[in-house]
């Protein structure tokens, strides 16, 4: 299974519009971050995690010509704003796009993209099928996925475990019983907004602590803001088994358990 970071930034991305900080002005490509999203490729099946404002650019950059489904972690715009772009895949595959989300998130999608669900739709409007995350584990195109309940401040959202990989973004709290679902993960991806504590995201110290607690083979930090600092500087402060992720980074996951 191949995993790719399509975007590793926060809701504003990096560089932030009009910002003149050293990170936003950096020439290091690893400091340039689109909104957080990821891609899973396994046995000819491709599944995206989230579809934010940069979805079109991310699909073109990663040359994703076939996409079977999109998993949505939660309803904030930096995770759903690009859903209109599935029109291209509707045309290529001649079928609706399968979107997997919990019921609350589905209602937000219906409100945000009301024109998709109208009885007399405008020609060319996207075609999507909403699927409810209500079984544990899920099975999408033969790929088993375990939803993991985490909290984004007080908002319940989902992370996902696929084989020996766990992807968690926008979290600030995970209950002990949900951490049990992560135990044994070889590749753990966790959000960290900045070095300083934040009310709705892990800070760097909290993310490193969680990764150390789970003790995967490799840990990755994503959903990083320009407040974190320069990539090269942060990397020096991380343990050897933890990497600060960047857009386009990909790796293989052994699915033979």
Token pair 């052994």 is at which residue? 254
CB atoms within 10 A of CB 218: 17
Give the pLDDT confidence score for residue 136 in this predicted structure. Answer: 75
Q: Assign 192 to helix, strand or coil.
A: coil
Angstrom distance (rounded) from CA 101 to CA 174: 19
Beta strands in 153-245 (DSSP E): 155-162, 165-167, 187-191, 218-222, 242-244
Retrieve residue 127's tokens.
């075609």
Give the pLDDT confidence score for residue 117 in this predicted structure. Answer: 94
Backbone angles phi, psi at 155, to 5 degrees: -90, 120
198 preceded by a cis bond (ω within 30 of 0): no
The residues with which 250 forms a beta bridge, in sequence order, are 4
Give the pLDDT confidence score for residue 137 in this predicted structure. Answer: 83
> What does the buried/exposed string (b/e) look like for 183-202 if buried means 16 or more CB atoms within 10 Å of the residue's CB?
eebbbbbbbbbbeeebeebb
Q: Assign 185 to helix, strand or coil.
A: coil
The residues with which 33 forms a beta bridge, in sequence order, are 14
Per-residue pLDDT of the chain (257 residues; tens, 9 = 90+): 999 999 999 999 999 999 999 999 999 999 999 999 999 999 999 999 999 999 999 999 999 999 999 999 999 999 999 999 999 999 999 999 999 999 999 999 999 999 999 988 888 899 999 999 976 789 999 999 999 999 999 999 999 999 999 999 999 999 999 999 999 999 999 999 999 999 999 999 999 999 999 999 999 999 999 999 999 999 999 999 999 999 999 999 988 65
- Dihedral of the CA atoms 187, 190, 194, 198 (nearest 10)? -160
Angstrom distance (rounded) from CA 199 to CA 173: 10
The model's pTM: 0.96
Query: Is 246 in contact with 40 (CB distance < 8 Å)?
Result: no
CATH code reported for the domain at 2-251: 3.60.15.10
Query: Is 225 in contact with 193 (CB distance < 8 Å)?
Result: yes
Angstrom distance (rounded) from CA 8 to CA 6: 7
Angstrom distance (rounded) from CA 50 to CA 8: 12
Give the pLDDT confidence score for residue 250 in this predicted structure. Answer: 98
Retrieve residue 120's tokens.
């007399």
Angstrom distance (rounded) from CA 70 to CA 135: 16
Give the pLDDT confidence score for residue 257 in this predicted structure. Answer: 56
Give the pLDDT confidence score for residue 12 in this predicted structure. Answer: 97
């Amino acid at each position: 299974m191949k995993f790719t970071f399509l975007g590793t930034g926060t809701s504003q991305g990096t560089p932030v519009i009009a910002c003149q900080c050293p990170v936003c002005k950096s020439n290091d490509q690893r400091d340039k971050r689109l909104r957080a999203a990821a891609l899973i490729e396994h046995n000819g099946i491709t599944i995206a995690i989230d579809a934010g404002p940069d979805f079109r650019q991310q699909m073109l950059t990663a040359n994703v010509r076939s996409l079977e489904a999109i998993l949505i972690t939660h309803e904030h715009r930096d995770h759903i704003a690009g859903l209109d772009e599935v029109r291209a895949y509707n045309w290529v595959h001649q079928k609706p796009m399968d979107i997997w989300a919990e019921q609350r998130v589905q209602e937000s999608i219906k409100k945000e993209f009301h024109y998709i669900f109208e009885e007399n739709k405008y020609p060319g409007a996207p075609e999507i099928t909403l699927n409810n995350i209500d079984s544990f584990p899920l099975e999408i195109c033969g790929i088993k996925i375990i939803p993991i309940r985490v909290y984004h401040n007080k908002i319940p959202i989902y992370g996902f475990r696929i084989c020996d990989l766990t992807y968690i973004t926008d979290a600030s709290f995970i209950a002990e019983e949900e951490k049990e679902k992560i135990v044994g993960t070889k590749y753990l991806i966790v959000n960290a907004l900045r070095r300083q504590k934040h009310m709705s995201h892990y800070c760097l110290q909290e993310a490193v602590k969680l990764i150390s607690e789970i003790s995967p083979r490799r840990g990755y930090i994503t959903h990083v803001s320009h407040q974190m600092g320069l990539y090269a500087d942060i990397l020096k402060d991380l343990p050897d088994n933890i990497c600060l992720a960047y857009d386009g980074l990909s790796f293989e996951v052994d699915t033979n358990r």
